[in-house]
Amino acid sequence: MTKQSDHHQTYPVCLNLSGKLCIVVGGGVVAERKVQGILSGSGSVRVVSPVVTPTLRTLADQGVIEWREQLYRAIDLDGAFLVFAATNIPEVQQAVLREARALGLLVNIADDPQACDFYVPASFRRGDMTLCVATNGKSPAVAAMVRRRLERDFGEEYAQLTSLMALLRDRILIETAGNHEEKKILFQKILHDDIVDWLRDHRWDKIQQHLQEVFGCPVDFDPGTLTKENP
């Protein structure tokens, strides 16, 4: 019989890790992936492991991460926001799980989905747009496959679209008259079926013409602000 816990559904969120400490127990390739993901989300990292990969050692030497070159101890969780257990030692994994839970911390246990408080989805970014694929921890390989397909379908034009809508959002919310529903309709009108193609082909003239039709007056924006590479 399948356990009830196998049927749980997760609640998707995007966490703001800026300035928050994330602990990664372990120093191998799995731990390295966790660290890279945390850094890409602007989080701070403390790695706890007697040995680490060359990449993690370099990051520590550069001061990008903190490396505690030692076996894991409960005190290593001090100040943590998130905890990742990424060792190949079951006893250490269980100790991290037990002690993180005792402190009320969210913990991710590598290769043990049922023990995890959260999963890290397969994801990629297009500017300020983040696309994620998760399988409730059941198959990271499937999530990665779907992510690769999405990467092919969602190019940099979606980063530009997000930037453009951010510019227009202030104008609509602050400067444009009308109630919430009328402003919602304006947003929908801006998102013309062809706007992604215009951005992909750099058809700024078509975009300007379209925006003028929507707003009833010329709308100035600098295309250069939409095409800058995002970190």
Using one digit for the tens of pLDDT, what is the confidence trace for 56-74?
Answer: 999 999 999 999 999 999 9
Report the pLDDT value the prediction gives residue 46, as an integer from 0 to 100. Answer: 98
Q: Is 165 left (phi over 0), alpha (psi -120 to 50) or beta?
A: alpha
Evaluate if pTM is beyond 0.75.
yes
Report the pLDDT value the prediction gives residue 219, as an integer from 0 to 100. Answer: 85
Among 3.40.50.720, 3.90.1640.30, 3.10.150.10, 3.40.50.150, name the CATH number for the domain at 11-120: 3.40.50.720
Using one digit for the tens of pLDDT, what is the confidence trace for 78-88?
Answer: 999 999 999 99
